[in-house]
């Protein structure tokens, strides 16, 4: 058996020793990433994995760059490249046209939503809805109206012969009137009054009740909407909802079978913008990539803008693509298995890669 393995290794090395092999890659965080405005020096989980495979098999590699998975599959099928590695889902339909290696990573689909969708804290909802209702301009108008009201109330109080509520001194009187105005917005706590003073008291109190009622109604409606139609707790909650995903990729087909209202996008960045703007309820794609992008976006914004739900469904595998009957398949498969094996108490190379690129997930 040892002689056979040695013979195969010698034969394999002789086949590919003459020239470098072409490996197709495409951008897909955190699997394959490039520096801005340059495709040189790619990095990521898939790059580190292939570099280790090529080191083990003593291969010289030349990376060929593509825009999407479909292009890599086509290039693999036509023999334009010797293999493709990035974040390529192994599917039965693709297996009809090309060959796959053993699984290089096991994952599933996850759901990205706006952080507002998962926030059901009444206080947070209250503050967010209040911000929508009251702009800076509106707040300045309110302060102006408040200033006019407390001056009118102080002036009306001075006309009373007895039972005055405020001091005759303007500064002290206006200060008292200010606290009267804040109290009267939500409760009928006012000194005995009549005439103009009573009309101002009643008018100001009604304004407060109307404003509070509107705010309460808006917050209640928002919480109810989250409870009835906004909450997404499993993939079944996607049925009938507008959901974005990358066109022509495996998640697209799955969502159509699920009967979600699929909104196809060319890139995940486009899908993320639709989620942030509220034009779709969710973005569905491979979990590790969504979590990586969510972390990066939230880090830049320095607040929770997006959230990826902690549920995984439609489990799938990533594999390395090869032209049918490629001589590379068996040596690469053996190497993949070797890289998953622990070395005593030391973690396997594969586990170390996961810690390096997926730890923030």
Q: How far apart are CA 110 and CA 163, in angstroms?
A: 68
Q: If pLDDT is split at 50, 70 and 90, which confidence band does 181 have?
A: confident
Residues 133, 207, single domain; the answer is yes
**β-strands 99-100, 306-308 pairing:** unpaired
Q: How far apart are CA 28 and CA 42, in angstroms?
A: 11
Peptide bond into 72 cis (omega under 30): no
- Take residue 323 and report the two structure tokens written for it: 């032209």
Residues whose CB is less than 8 angstroms from the CB of residue 64 and which lie 6 or more positions away in sequence, other chains included: 22, 23, 24, 25, 75, 80, 81
Residues 201, 240, single domain; the answer is no
Q: If pLDDT is split at 50, 70 and 90, which confidence band does 73 have?
A: very high
- What is the predicted pLDDT for the residue at 192? 66
Residues 41, 70, single domain; the answer is yes
Judged by DSSP in three states, 24 sits in strand
Choose the most confident range, by mean pLDDT, from 3-12, 88-97, 217-226.
88-97
More confident residue, 6 or 71: 71
Q: Residue 41, by phi and psi: left (phi above 0), alpha (psi -120 to 50) or beta?
A: left
- What is the predicted pLDDT for the residue at 84? 97
Overall number of domains in the chain: 3
Residues 266, 295, single domain; the answer is yes
- Give the end of a domain, one of 164, 199, 230: 230
Query: Any idea what the CATH number is for the domain that residue 212 is in?
Result: 1.10.287
- Take residue 224 and report the two structure tokens written for it: 């109810």
Q: How far apart are CA 92 and CA 318, in angstroms?
A: 13
pLDDT of residue 293 exceeding 50, the answer is: yes
Summary mean pLDDT of the chain: 83
Residues 97, 138, single domain; the answer is no
More confident residue, 264 or 126: 264
Least confident segment among 101-105, 183-187, 325-329: 183-187
Percent of the chain at pLDDT above 70?
A: 81
Q: If pLDDT is split at 50, 70 and 90, which confidence band does 103 have?
A: very high
**Residue 76, phi then psi, degrees to nearest 5:** -65, -45
Q: If pLDDT is split at 50, 70 and 90, which confidence band does 327 have?
A: very high
**Residue 307, phi then psi, degrees to nearest 5:** -140, 140
In the DSSP assignment, the letter for residue 285 is E
Residues whose CB is less than 8 angstroms from the CB of residue 276 and which lie 6 or more positions away in sequence, other chains included: 114, 305, 306
Residues 301, 333, single domain; the answer is no
Q: What residues make up the domain containing 216? A: 123-230
- What is the predicted pLDDT for the residue at 191? 66
Residues 183, 138, single domain; the answer is yes
Residues 309, 326, single domain; the answer is no
Residues 226, 127, single domain; the answer is yes
Mean pLDDT of 227-244: 78
pLDDT of residue 172 exceeding 80, the answer is: yes
Q: What is the pLDDT of residues 186-219, one digit of tens each?
A: 776 666 666 677 788 778 878 877 877 776 776 6
Alpha carbon of 161 to those of 152, 164, 200, 326: distances in Å?
17, 7, 17, 104
Query: Any idea what the CATH number is for the domain that residue 94 is in?
Result: 3.40.190.10
- What is the predicted pLDDT for the residue at 8? 45
Alpha carbon of 177 to those of 130, 152, 199, 212, 303: distances in Å?
25, 9, 15, 21, 40
Residues 95, 157, single domain; the answer is no
Q: If pLDDT is split at 50, 70 and 90, which confidence band does 5 have?
A: very low
Residues 154, 193, single domain; the answer is yes
Q: If pLDDT is split at 50, 70 and 90, which confidence band does 173 have?
A: confident
Q: What is the pLDDT of residues 13-27, one digit of tens each?
A: 444 545 689 999 999
Nearest in space to 191 (alpha carbons), one of 159, 168, 157, 165 = 165
């Amino acid at each position: 058996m040892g002689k056979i393995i040695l013979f195969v290794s010698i034969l394999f090395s002789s086949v590919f020793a003459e020239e470098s092999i072409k490996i197709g890659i495409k951008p897909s965080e955190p699997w394959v990433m490039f520096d801005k405005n340059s495709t040189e020096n790619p990095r990521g989980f898939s790059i580190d994995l292939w570099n280790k495979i090529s080191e083990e098999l003593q291969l010289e590699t030349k990376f060929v760059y593509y825009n999407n998975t479909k292009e890599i599959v086509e290039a693999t099928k036509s023999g334009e490249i010797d293999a493709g590695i990035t974040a390529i889902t192994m599917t039965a339909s693709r297996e009809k046209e090309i060959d796959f290696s053993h699984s290089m990573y096991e994952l599933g689909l996850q759901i990205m939503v706006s952080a507002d969708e998962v926030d059901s804290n009444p206080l947070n909802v209250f503050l967010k809805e209040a911000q929508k209702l009251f702009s800076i301009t509106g707040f300045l108008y309110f302060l102006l109206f408040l200033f006019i009201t407390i001056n009118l109330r102080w002036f009306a109080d001075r006309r009373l012969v007895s039972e005055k509520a405020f001091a005759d001194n303007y500064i002290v009187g206006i200060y008292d009137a200010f606290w009267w105005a804040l109290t009267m917005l939500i409760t009928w706590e006012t000194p005995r009054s009549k005439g103009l003073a009573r009309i101002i008291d009643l008018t100001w109190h009604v304004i407060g009740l109307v404003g509070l009622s509107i705010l309460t109604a808006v917050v209640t409606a928002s919480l109810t909407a989250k409870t009835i139609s906004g909450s997404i707790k499993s993939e079944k909650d996607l049925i009938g909802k507008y959901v974005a995903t990358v066109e022509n990729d495996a998640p697209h087909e799955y969502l159509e079978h699920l009967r979600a209202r699929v909104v196809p996008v060319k890139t995940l960045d486009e899908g993320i913008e639709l989620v942030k703007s509220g034009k779709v309820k969710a973005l569905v794609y491979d979990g590790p990539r969504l979590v990586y992008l969510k972390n990066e976006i939230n880090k830049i914004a320095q607040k929770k803008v997006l959230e990826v739900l902690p549920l995984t469904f439609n489990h799938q595998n990533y594999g390395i693509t090869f032209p049918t009957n490629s001589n590379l398949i068996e040596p690469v498969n053996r190497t993949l298995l070797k890289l998953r094996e622990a070395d005593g108490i030391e973690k396997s190379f594969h586990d170390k890669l996961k810690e390096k690129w997926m730890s923030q997930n």
